[in-house]
Structure formats: structure tokens, C-alpha cells
Amino acid sequence: MTLHHKQEDKPNQSKSSDKASGPMSGQVFDVVVVGAGVVGCAIARRFTLEGAQVAVVEKATDILDGASKANSAILHTGFDAPTGSVEVSCIREGYREYLEIHNNLALPLENSGAYVVAWNDNEVAALEAIVGQGHANGIADVSIIDTVELRRKEPELSQQALAAVAVPGESIIDPWSAPYAYLRQSLLNGGEVFLSCEVTGGNFDGQKWQLQTTHGTLNTRHVINCAGLYGDLLDRKILGSSDFDIKPRKGQFVVYDKAAAKLVNSIILPVPTGRTKGVVVCRTVFGNVLVGPTAEDQESRSDACTDEDALRALIASGTSKVPALENMPVTAVYAGLRPATEYKDYQIDAKPKRNWITVGGIRSTGLSGALGIARYVFKLYSDLGSKHAPVHSPKNPKAAALAQNMQRDWQRKNHGDVICHCELVTEREIQQALSGPLEARSLSGLKRQTRVTMGRCQGFYCSARLTELTEGHFDTPLSYEIGKSGRDHD
Amino acid sequence: MTDQNFPSTEQFDVVVIGGGPAGLSAATQLKRQGVANVIVLEREPDAGGIPRHCGHFGFGMREFKRILTGPQYAAKLVKEALRAGVAIHTSTTVVEANEHGTLRVATKQGVRKINARRIIYATGIRETPRSARLISGCRPLGVMNTGALQSMIYLKNRKPFKHPVIVGTELVSFSAIMTCRHANIKPVAMIDELPHVTARWPSSLFPRLVGVPLHLETRLVRIIGEKQVSAVVVENAEGQRRELKCDGIILTGKFTPEASLGRSGHLAVDPATGGPVVDQYGRCSDPVYFATGNVLRPVETAGWCWNEGRQTASWVKDDLAGKLSGSEAHLRIGIKSPVIKYVVPQQISVPDLSTGMENLQLRFMQRARGELIARNASGDFMKWQLRVAPERRVLIPISDLGLTAQTHIQNNNDEIELCFKQSPQ
Ligand SMILES: Cc1cc2nc3c(=O)[nH]c(=O)nc-3n(C[C@H](O)[C@H](O)[C@H](O)COP(=O)(O)OP(=O)(O)OC[C@H]3O[C@@H](n4cnc5c(N)ncnc54)[C@H](O)[C@@H]3O)c2cc1C
Ligand SMILES: Cc1cc2nc3c(=O)[nH]c(=O)nc-3n(C[C@H](O)[C@H](O)[C@H](O)COP(=O)(O)OP(=O)(O)OC[C@H]3O[C@@H](n4cnc5c(N)ncnc54)[C@H](O)[C@@H]3O)c2cc1C
């Protein structure tokens, strides 16, 4: 088995869509993970470290193209998760492990803390129960604070705030560099990844699976379905039925200019409604402030459109909580889709007779829970009887330092040049993201890996240089040469 | 030659942030007037600012008595500056502007801290992107501002689409049409929510002349497309919606100062202009900093900014020599009308009114006819009859305010209010 992922093995490199007898037909993996969202990436890492032969299969050109594309980037403690749920145990375990590994993987962590703020008397009355639930979930430092204390911590918060629950452990992280690091660690220690490769079917012979993909067949002893927004469809297609239905729930966000970071120190949470965590005002590790998400049920599993009215409502909500946001420019807007189901809890289930584990319905806490989910799933897998020798002193990849409080590449020498002025992304960072097994093959992939064009000008200044730097790298190119034969035939 | 190697010096007389028309002309003029140690810091690989990628003619009349293309004009400004002895450092980004004239600068060789007696803030302007316009819909490739399109086409000889929709009818929107024509891009329509073209006649004739359908009172309501834009939904004044097939969207105009250095730092920002709050010298809330060019406000021509840069140079030179009056006592100029978009300067330092900008620069939100009124604590004291339209410059001589009159300058933080009384239609 190769240590590094071999380029020539990668299905998305085989331009002819040669089926069945593809380059991977000979090999039998211990585990194929379907889907490179944050959950799939964390599971690939855990199984690789435990010594299993793992392949991750992802249908998009770049990883994190589904639910994991867009979230609030909060590392939750689990203080408000349903007591006794699988979710709360995974979040707590995920939180613990993130704190343990983030230094080794050079991942950012800002322990900003959170305040669940009550804006009316009913909400004030609900605070006791929130503290109670936090304590029941094992988070001992959750407590009620009065407005004096709240104002001291958050001077720009509206005077309408009446009281709050302080949750000191809530933190902010980078929603993309973390899963990238998980998958990179898997690859560095023997795992493989197949991109632009969709699992379309499969047969189980009692011992192993033959998985059909858009680029050939994969042989594996076990399958872990981490297909996020498509988890029920995959189960239905290959197993014949699914234990749950995915009910996509959109969340839109407004991101404010970095200048707004002066206004908010922590995560300002509303008193939850039961259905969602509600609209959050929160700093990001990149130095912006975000307001969101909305919670909108929809049919489509891919439509992450934004809507002007919803965005204006978010701006109004943000401004009512932090009035000084009024004069702050909006930098970006985006939307993400939660893979919600008819159930509240995660839908993690092993099908022992078929060597299949479904990890579904990781609705709104997957970024926090991923490392814990991975351990939970590995336990289920071990219980099925598989044994491996864990990797001895595993290699640690180093994540690109993108968070504001890290030493960024532009602060070092020989970075080429600063290309994206708003986010201070260097040529060297872009070149790095355009190479290696997880090379960016779309602008959105490059954005997630480097933050290029994610700042206030949204590409006004750097698009031209970027289109040149990325030439030949993207499946959908940003531009093409003027007057060159073939494409410019008008 | 401009220089990417940063000098080892840490102390300068004047550092100019931004090597566009305003910054270059300010630096050139400072050198010509004998200020010793002047450098321009420019974050792009080449100085010249926005005109670098305006491939069309129309630059240089005021400055060089010749009609040049943007790139020719930019090159000429750089040449003049170098000839005057200005050091221009390209690929050099000012990342923080702090108190006491301290700047944090990113260069290819790493980060530097430098210090200047005066700093000229000349970072220009850009267009508002899709996100800040809150436009609904999917987020595919092919949505961009004119500036990005121009730099792709004129600097890199590449084009992103073939049949875009152009949103806006400002002057720059017509540059967008010209840019398209240069690359054999055929816009399918030009739309604006206003009932009239924003740019002056005869620009308004241009789309028809080159066969681009112009739809007024038409609003972009939704972007459609998975990977690349495939259509837009537009809505007319009657609320009727229809789909226009296209493969790109050029969002033109809606200019906003590139004033993030000041906003993230310590300089007061005027929400109306989006640029720094300045007095009649362009002096910011921290008197070490002087702003000039389009960072002051949206938006003026290159020639205007070039001239502004020259004037700023003389005020900065005077200030270095201790000849400029202080900024401690000033009158604020407030806007008390929803029709007035902004006024620059936002305050006037007193008592010396003999130098500095000659005019208040105003812009208006809508077409209107009426009376601009200046009011102070003792009532209305000056009136001007005006006909105004969006994005048209209105200049009011500061001398009209009669500010030498003691009444206005007794108290610091006195305010002059500008109101607008519309005439009945
Ligand atoms: C608005 C919003 C805010 C959130 N905020 C937070 C937060 O602050 N903190 C937190 O912890 N969590 C948060 N979350 C939740 C978190 O983002 C999700 O729980 C998590 O991303 C789910 O990841 P996943 O890996 O299960 O699914 P996905 O990311 O959807 O991954 C599934 C992957 O499988 C691929 N795939 C699907 N079908 C196939 C197939 N047949 N073959 C190959 N590949 C396939 C998809 O392309 C996709 O990449 C938020 C979510 C949203 C939407
Ligand atoms: C798309 C577009 C098209 C235009 N077309 C025309 C036209 O056709 N004719 C016309 O007369 N005017 C046009 N304008 C107006 C234009 O703003 C002026 O012509 C002129 O460029 C303004 O000069 P300036 O020096 O104020 O700003 P700019 O020309 O914008 O120069 C500012 C410079 O500062 C640099 N800079 C910014 N921040 C930093 C930093 N932190 N550190 C270092 N350097 C920095 C920038 O890279 C830039 O080079 C256009 C503007 C835009 C946006």
C-alpha cells in the first residue's frame, strides 16, 4: 500500500470513463467511506489511525462540497444538546479530541466563550433550564450572569439584553482546515481518496462489497455511508431501504467586514426554540463577524441559494442585538444545508449482516461532533469483529495557517506575492492548494483551502491574477484566452 | 524602475499609501516642492491604480493635455513620479495604519514596521460586489464587477463569459460595454432599476448604438446557474418577472471607498461616503493622516483625483512646515436631508480658511430640483437653487458659507446643517 495517495490511481484523472476494470479493481479495502464531508474525513482519519485500509470516495471535485461547505464554525461543548443522546456524547468526545489534537495539526482554536442572551422575560425564565441541561450534560461551568457582567464582556450588546447564560467552553474554529487536516492525516498514514467519484450501486457477497462508482468498481469489506444530504438515498439505493428521510434545512448567513470584529468578543446565542439553535452573532477565526443562520425547510438537497429578504431580516436581527453593526459593510453572504431528518438525534446505525454502517442525520453539530462520531463509529465497527494494529506514531500534517491569530504566510518570507488583498492570501498558499492529493479543482475548493476572494472585495482586485494562476486546474475554468481557437468562436 | 525591495530605513517624511493617480501625483508634487523623503507603497505588482486596466481612451487631458488610454496614462504618472525622485515600492501592502504615523507593511521579504511624519491615504475606490448588494439566487461563476472584468481582459487577455447582462447605467457601465467589445463579448442587456440612465447624455445613446438592449426600471431579482451563470430573473416596474438567458453578470458602479485600513484602525469613518472623515485639507481624525483621491468619496475621475493629489501635497508640505492651522477647533457639516447622499469635507477646521479645498462636494440620492439650505444654531443663513441627479457632482464654494463671521467659529463642534427643500414638481 502506498503511503501517499498516488496521482495516477485517482479516478478523476482517468479521462476516459473506463468502468469495471479500472486501476483499483484488484485491491480490497477494509473500509470505504462514502462522502468527504467533515464526518467522512474524521472517520477516515480514525480508521486509518486504528490501522484499517481506508478509501474515501467523494462525488464532488473537492471535498466539503455538501453540508460541510457552510456552517457557523462553532466548536460546541454540547451544553444544549439533548441529554443522554448519541449527539451529546459525540459532541463532548469530539470537543475533547479537538482540544487534544489541534496543536499537532496546527488547527486554530479561539476559546471565545458564548452567551445565551435573554431578550425578554420569557427568555429570562428559560435560562435556569438551560443551565440545568448544561450541568446534566456534564458541562459544569455553565452559569447565569447578570447584565452588568454581560455588558462588561460585550459592551456593544444592545441595552435590551436582560441576562444571559455564560458558556465559557464554546469556541470558534476553522470549518474547513479542520476536515482537510483529518483527511490529510488519513492520506499521510496510508489512506486513499477518490474525488469526482460517485458511488452508484453495490453488491455484497457475504464477505465483501463491490461498490460501483462513476469511475469503476471498488472492493471493500465494509462500507460507511457518510453521504450527508444524500445518506437516505444511498441506503435506499444499495440496501433497499433507509431508516430515516433527509429533510434539508437551509441556513443563510451574513458576514460582516473585519472592522466589525471590534464589536463582538464571543458567540452571542439566542434562547433556543427547540427546532434550531436560532440566529447567532459570532466572530470567526478569520476576524469577521457572522450573523445567521436561518432555518428553512426545503425539498432540494443542493439548492443553497441566498434570498434578499432573508438576508435583510438577518441584518435587522444582528443590528437589534449589536446596534453598531448598522454602519458596518457586509462582506459576504452564504447558505448551507443541514442534513436534518424526522428525528432529533444523529442516525448512526450498523447493519452487521451487511458490513454496512450508516452515519446519517448529522444535522447541526457535525463540525463539533465529527471526531467523537468517528470514535463512536469505530467502536461499532470493532464490535462487528474486525481487528487492526493501530498506526505506530502517526504522521501529522500541518494545516495552512489561515486564522487571524496565527502567523499567516504573508508574514513570512518568499511567499511570492500577496494575491488576495482583502484576506491577504499569498501566491505560495494558492500554489500549495493547487497541488497534492487534495488539490483544489474548483474555485469553491480553492476558497475553502485558502480564503481567496472571500473578503470584502469578493474578487474585484485579484480575479485577474487568480484566473491566470489557476489556469488548467479547474474543471470549470474561471476564464479563457481571448482569440484562442476553439472556445472563442463568436 | 519601481522597486519591490524595501529600504532598510524606518523613518520617512511622507508615506503615500496607494499608487493610483491621486497618490502618485501627491508624491510627485511633494518631491517637486522639496520634501526629502517620500515613498509610495503600492500593493499591486505595478503602480498606476485603476487606470492600469481601463483600456479605453479618455485619460490625461487635464494633466498632460493629451488623450491617452488608461494604461498609457498610468505609465506616464509612474514615469513622472520616478523622474521627480519618488521611491515607489510595489507588491507592498499596508496592512495596518496606526497612531503616531506607524504603519505595518507586508513585503515579499516579510513584515516591516515603518514610521512617517505624515501619511497620505490614497487607496481609491472599488465597486460593490454581489454579496453586499444582497442579490438573491445561486452563487455560480460569472458574476463580477467591471474592475475585475477589465483587469482580466486588458491585463491578462482572458475573458470569463460571452453573453453577460450588465447591471447599472453609471459611466463605468458604459466602460463595461467598451471592455466587452474589446474582447468580442456580446452583452445581452443592460438593466437599471432607475427610470433613467445615470450617466450623462450622450452616454445614454451608446448601448443602442452598439446594439445592447437597454431596460430601465428593471431590477435584477435572482441569479440562476449551477456552475456558471445560466440566466437572471429581472422584474419591471409593474412587478412582472422574466428570465434572461446569459452566462455572466457585470455588476457595475455603486462605488465604495477602499477604506478598510482606516475602518479597521483608528480613523473615523463617515457612513455617508464610506471614506474617512476629513476637514478641508483632507486631514483625517488623526491629523498625521491626509486622505486624497477617491478614497474620500464615490466617485470622481482620474483627472480630478490627480488634481486633488497635487493640492493635498501642498497642504501636507505646509503642515510639515507648521503652517497649517490646527484641527482641534472645527465645524461639523451635517446632513439633514434624505435626498443628500454625502458631503465632503465633513468638517472645517477654523480659523484659517485661506487654503484648503475650495468647495464642498455633494452628491444626491435622486433627481430633484430645489433649494439647498445651510443652517446653524441661529437659523438658515445661506441658500442655493439646485437641480440635482444621482451620481452628479455638486460643488458649493466654501467661501459662500461666510465662515469668517465670528458667529460660526466661536464654539468648537458647532455644526452647520445642510437641508434640501424640493420645489413642487
Ligand atoms: C447553517 C449551518 C450551520 C451549522 N453550524 C454548525 C456549527 O456551528 N457547529 C457545528 O458543529 N456544526 C454546524 N453545522 C452542522 C455541520 O455543518 C454538519 O453537521 C456537517 O457538515 C455534516 O457533515 P456530513 O459529513 O455528515 O455531511 P456532508 O458535508 O453533506 O458530506 C457528505 C458528502 O458526501 C458526498 N456524497 C453524497 N452522496 C455521494 C455518493 N453517492 N458518492 C460519493 N459521494 C457522495 C457529498 O458530495 C458530500 O461531500 C451547521 C450546519 C449548517 C447547514
Ligand atoms: C472599475 C472602475 C473603472 C473606472 N473607470 C474610470 C474611467 O474610465 N475614467 C476615470 O476617469 N475614472 C475611472 N474610474 C475612477 C477611478 O477611481 C479614478 O480614475 C482613479 O483611479 C482614482 O484614483 P485614486 O488614486 O484615488 O485611486 P486608485 O486608482 O484606485 O488607486 C489606489 C491604489 O491604492 C492601492 N492600494 C489600496 N490599498 C492599499 C494598501 N493597503 N496598501 C498599498 N496599496 C494599496 C491600490 O492597489 C491602487 O493602486 C474607475 C473606477 C473603477 C473602480
What does the pLDDT average to over A54-70?
A: 98
Q: Which amino acid is it at A198?
A: E
Task: Count CA within 13 A, CB hemisphere, residue A450.
Answer: 33
Q: Is the pLDDT of residue B142 over 80?
A: yes
pLDDT computed for residue B207 by the predictor = 80
| Coil vs helix vs strand at B72 | helix
What does the pLDDT average to over A146-168?
A: 96
CB B105 within 8 A of CB B114: yes
What does the pLDDT average to over A282-301?
A: 97
Question: What is the C-alpha to C-alpha distance for residues B113 and B91, in angstroms, rounded to an integer?
Answer: 16
Q: How far is the CA of A142 from the centre of ligand 1 (A)?
A: 28
The secondary structure of chain A, three-state, reads CCCCCCHHHCHHHCCCCCCCCCCCCCCEEEEEEECCCHHHHHHHHHHHHCCCCEEEECCCCCCCCCHHHCCCCEECCCCCCCCCCHHHHHHHHHHHHHHHHCCCCCCCCECCCEEEEECCHHHHHHHHHHHHHHHHCCCCCCEEEEHHHHHHHCCCCCCCCCEEEEECCCEECCCCHHHHHHHHHHHHCCCEEECCCCEEEEEECCCCEEEEECCEEEEEEEEEECCHHHHHHHHHHHHCCCCCCCEEEEEEEEEECHHHHHHCCCEEEECCCCCCCCCEEEECCCCCEEEECCCEECCCCCCCCECHHHHHHHHHHHHHHCHHHHHCCEEEEEEEEEEECCCCCCEEEEEHHHCEEEEECCCCCHHHHHHHHHHHHHHHHHHCCCCCCCCCCCCCCCCCCCCCCCCCHHHCCCCCCEEECCCCEEHHHHHHHCCCCCCCCCHHHHHHHHCCCCCCCCCCCCHHHHHHHCCCCCCCCCCEECCCCCCCCC
Terminal CA-CA length for chain B: 58
* pLDDT per position as a tens digit, A345-364: 999 999 999 999 999 999 99
* pLDDT per position as a tens digit, A179-197: 999 999 999 999 999 999 9
Q: Which domains does chain B have, with CATH numbers?
A: 11-126+256-324 (3.50.50.60), 129-253 (3.50.50.60), 333-422 (no CATH)
Assign A55 a pLDDT band (cuts: 50, 70, 90): very high
Selected residue with higher pLDDT from B330 and A246: A246
Angstroms from B326 CA to nearest CA on chain A:
29
For chain A, the average pLDDT equals 93
pLDDT computed for residue B325 by the predictor = 83
Chain B, 125-164: which have a CB under 8 Å from a chain A CB?
A: 126-127, 129-132, 134-139, 141, 144-145, 147-148, 151-153, 155-160, 162
Q: Which domains does chain A have, with CATH numbers?
A: 2-69+176-243+344-383 (3.50.50.60), 114-168+247-340 (3.30.9.10), 409-485 (no CATH)
pLDDT computed for residue A222 by the predictor = 98
Assign B5 a pLDDT band (cuts: 50, 70, 90): confident
Question: What is the C-alpha to C-alpha distance for residues A143 and A127, in angstroms, rounded to an integer?
Answer: 9
CA-to-CA separations, A377 to A39, A223, A380, in angstroms, rounded: 10, 12, 5
Q: Is the pLDDT of residue A4 over 50?
A: no
Task: Count CA within 13 A, CB hemisphere, residue A292.
Answer: 32
Nearest to B156 among A329, A418, A468 (CB): A468
A155, with CB counted inside 10 A (0-12, 13-18, 19+), is exposed
Grid cell of B77 as nine digits: 504618472
Q: How far is the CA of A117 from the centre of ligand 1 (A)?
A: 28
Would an 8 Å CB–CB cutoff place B5 in contact with chain A? no
pLDDT computed for residue B95 by the predictor = 97
* pLDDT per position as a tens digit, B348-358: 988 777 789 99
pLDDT computed for residue B413 by the predictor = 55
CB A367 within 8 A of CB A73: yes
Q: Is the pLDDT of residue B201 over 70?
A: yes
pLDDT computed for residue B340 by the predictor = 97
CB A39 within 8 A of CB A226: yes
* pLDDT per position as a tens digit, A303-347: 999 999 999 999 999 999 999 999 999 999 999 999 999 999 999
pLDDT computed for residue B305 by the predictor = 98
Assign A25 a pLDDT band (cuts: 50, 70, 90): low
| Coil vs helix vs strand at B269 | strand
Closest CA to B356 of B401, B311, B394: B311
Angstroms from A305 CA to nearest CA on chain B:
4
Q: Is the pLDDT of residue A130 over 90?
A: yes
Closest CA to B333 of B360, B359, B369: B360
Locate cell 485558502: which residue?
Answer: A450
CA-to-CA separations, A189 to A49, A347, A388, B289, in angstroms, rounded: 7, 29, 14, 54
Assign A274 a pLDDT band (cuts: 50, 70, 90): low
CB B400 within 8 A of CB B367: no
Locate cell 426545503: which residue?
Answer: A298
Q: Is the pLDDT of residue B80 over 80?
A: yes
pLDDT computed for residue B412 by the predictor = 52
Q: Is the pLDDT of residue A488 over 70?
A: no
Report residues whose beta carbon is within 6 angstroms of any ligand 2 atom: B 17-23, 41-44, 49-51, 54, 58, 93-94, 122-127, 146-147, 150, 172, 175, 258, 261, 293-295, 299, 301-302, 305
CB A331 within 8 A of CB A456: yes
Q: Is the pLDDT of residue B137 over 60?
A: yes
| 0.85 surpassed by complex ipTM | yes
* pLDDT per position as a tens digit, B235-287: 999 999 999 999 999 999 999 999 999 999 999 999 999 999 999 999 999 99
What does the pLDDT average to over A163-173?
A: 98
Size of interface A-B (CB pairs under 8 A): 143
Selected residue with higher pLDDT from B24 and B413: B24
Assign A1 a pLDDT band (cuts: 50, 70, 90): very low
Selected residue with higher pLDDT from A47 and B407: A47
pLDDT computed for residue A11 by the predictor = 44
Closest CA to B258 of A450, A256, A451, A329: A329
Grid cell of B373 as nine digits: 439650505
Q: Is the pLDDT of residue A9 over 60?
A: no
pLDDT computed for residue A277 by the predictor = 73
Chain B, 300-339: which have a CB under 8 Å from a chain A CB?
A: none
Would an 8 Å CB–CB cutoff place B192 in contact with chain A? no
* pLDDT per position as a tens digit, B203-224: 778 888 889 999 999 999 999 9
Grid cell of B416 as nine digits: 452647520
* pLDDT per position as a tens digit, B114-136: 999 999 999 999 999 999 999 99
Angstroms from B130 CA to nearest CA on chain A:
8
pLDDT computed for residue B378 by the predictor = 84
Closest CA to A438 of A61, A55, A30: A61
Closest CA to B87 of B48, B29, B45, B39: B39
Grid cell of A95 as nine digits: 470537543
Q: Is the pLDDT of residue A170 over 50?
A: yes
pTM: 0.96
Question: What is the C-alpha to C-alpha distance for residues B269 and B276, in angstroms, rounded to an integer?
Answer: 4
* pLDDT per position as a tens digit, A396-450: 999 999 999 999 999 999 999 999 999 999 999 999 999 999 999 999 999 999 9
